[in-house]
Structure 1
Amino acid sequence: MVAQVEPVFSFSVGAVLGRSFGIWFRNFIPFSLMSIIVTSPSFILAMATQPDLGSQSPAAGGGAVATFATIFVDLVVNALLVGALAYGTFQDLRGNRASIGEIVAHGFSVVPVVVGVALLVGLITFLGIIALVIPGIIAAVVLWVAVPVATVERPGVIASLSRSSELTRGHRWPCLGAIILITVVQFSVAALAGGAYALLAADTTILFTGTGYLFFEYILAAVITVFGSVAAAVAYHDLRSVKEGIGVNEIAAVFD
């Protein structure tokens, strides 16, 4: 059994990333398998509705309906995944191990509100980046833990955004540092995996344009997405622990 995390008295980038790596490595196989399975509808739909994605043709891809359908399915399956990973992360922090079935079941229970929160967070951040870049970065930091809030506290869509703003207030510089380092880790893993794939591939034409490479990209994205979701859940735990003086058992009691 993994040792339970004690209450946190200061919020730091190192602590968040250290525990996130630990949880990721301890649960690498079950979390990765779950991510691949849960997000598989997105890949299947994309290949079914846009069969020429692997083609070199500039006209490759489906129409607007197929594109919007894929985006909608992406939102739903990612909401399911994030909700499931938040539950799995908190169980690990408590020193417990949950089955993939339990984790996915809890993910299903929060899909509607998490879809709404993820959509708003993405839209606000996107508009901020289009405006002047900096507002988008600020929005990403302020709303970083909105999805874990929606998953654990379930206060509703708008209230989840407000709650994230409240929790990150006073700790936004370390939150920014953590987000930057998480992004660096994800890009580094993707680059290393892509390089390894390139070395192992015999036919570079198939490598960069074929369905095989698209499948590789899907698997890779499913695996590295896990780390970002785990880190957001850990950051949410630490922020609540610092601000409210409570431990993981009190925070995760909603799952019991």
Structure 2
Amino acid sequence: METVVDYTPRFEFGRVMQRATGAISRNGIAFLVLAAIFAGLPALGLGLLRTEAANAPIILLSGLWGLISSLVSIIASSVLQASIVRATILDLSGGRPRIGPCLRQGVRLILPLVGLSIVFGFGVGVASIAFLIPGLIVATMWSVSVPVLVEEGEGVFASLGRSRELTKGARWQIFGMMLLYGVALLLFGGLQIIISQALNGPELLALLVQAVGSAILALCWSAVTAAIYIELREIKEGSTPDQLAEIFA
């Protein structure tokens, strides 16, 4: 009896990580600048604002602080992720990403990106009310919605639906990557506490450590998200990075 060999392309964890780390290493300065502007500085500024608010009447500032914090975080993280997604796809297609054009791409899509972030957060939050697992499932299904919106020009809900389709059959692997990211967040949080206590320095030092960590982690996850999207497009549709890059050439 003749053996049938399955040549169906499969989602490769190692290939995704290799692409993400390769894009970061080749564009370290540009990526770090974007991360510093849209993750590090907002984290530092919001931390200082939170410190000032703690010394003022809480009743008056708690609502305002929450609104400002949420709005700044959503806008900054949306622009950063969109810019890194675009830059990563350009890099993997053999191009040389430049900060200006990639940043303009993120700013141009700011309204749908903010809308997507709000719907994403609301959907995951509602799914997590009963138990944590449904929320994780929803987050995994929608994990590449930002690359879809940036590269395919879909609307908010169409991007979420497209992400759900692309992630079918690879959700366990994607969940594993999300889990690793969550562990990295926990480890960095512990490291931040250790450094702050060891140096016994002013609160500004702790905020600086937090800002640097926020920038690095946000940068890494944005690049990984783009690499996941490319991997899914390749194994499901045969689309190569250079074909994806031509969309906004």
3-state SS of 2:178 partner: helix
The one-character-per-residue Cα deviations of 1:24-67 (angstroms, maximum 9, x if unpaired) are: 233333212211112424643553475145x7x99599331232
Matched, 1:21 2:21: yes
Offset, 1:195: 4.4
Change (3 A) 1:160 1:48: same
**What are the residue-to-residue correspondences of 1:32-71 with 2, within 5 Å?**
32-39=32-39, 40-41=41-42, 43-44=44-45, 47-48=48-49, 51-52=52-53, 62-71=61-70
Is 2:229 the counterpart of 1:240?
no
Report the equivalent of 1:89: 88
Offset, 1:185: 3.8
Question: Greater CA deviation, 124-133 or 22-31?
Answer: 22-31
* 2:31 match: 31
Whole-Å separation in 1 of the counterparts to 2:10 and 2:88: 20
- Which digits, 9 at most, give the CA deviation of each residue in 1:101-123, with x for residues without a partner? 22211211121111111111111
TM-score by length of 1: 0.83
Q: Which residue of 2 aligns with 1:163?
A: 162
Aligned to 2:224: 231
Q: CA deviation at 1:218?
A: 1.7
* 1:93-172 aligned within 5 A: 93-172=92-171
Deviation at residue 176 of structure 1 after TM alignment = 1.3
Q: Looking at secondary structure, tell me which structure has more helix per residue.
A: 2
Instruction: Specify the code of the residue in structure 2 equivalent to 1:36.
Output: A
d(CA) in 2 for partners of 1:46, 1:170: 40
Which has the higher mean CA deviation after the structures are superposed, 226-235 or 175-184? 175-184
Deviation at residue 128 of structure 1 after TM alignment:
1.8
- Over 3 Å counting, the alpha-carbon distance change for 1:137 and 1:58 in structure 2 is farther
C-alpha distance 32-195 of structure 1, shift in aligned 2 (>3 A): farther
Cα offsets for 1:175-200 (capped at 9, x unmatched): 2122222333444455456645654x
Question: Structure 1 91/190 Cα, relative in aligned 2: closer, same or farther at 3 Å?
Answer: farther
Which structure 2 residue ranges, 5 or more long, are not aligned? Answer: 1-7
Larger deviation, residues 233-242 vs 22-31: 22-31
Q: Which amino acid aligns with 2:48?
A: M
Code of the aligned partner of 1:152: E
> RMSD of the TM alignment (CA)?
2.6
Q: Equivalent pairs: percent with the same residue?
A: 28
How many Å separate the matches in 2 of 1:252 and 1:219?
30
Specify the code of the residue in structure 1 equivalent to 2:38.
Answer: V
Change (3 A) 1:30 1:60: farther
Whether the 8 Å contact between 1:50 and 1:62 is mirrored in structure 2 is no
Once the two structures are overlaid, the 10-residue window that deviates more, 36-45 or 148-157, is 36-45
2:230 & 2:190 partners in 1: Cα distance? 30
Q: Which shows bigger deviation, 18-27 or 213-222? A: 18-27
Name the SS for the 1:63 alignment partner.
Answer: helix
Length, aligned pairs only: 241
The 1:60–1:85 alpha-carbon spacing in structure 2 relative to 1, beyond 3 Å, is farther
Deviation string for 1:156-190 (max 9, x for gaps)? Answer: 00000000000011221112122222333444455
Contact between 2:16 and 2:224, CA under 8 Å: does it hold in 1?
A: yes
Deviation at 1:244, TM superposition (A): 0.7
How far apart are residue 145 of structure 1 and its match?
0.5
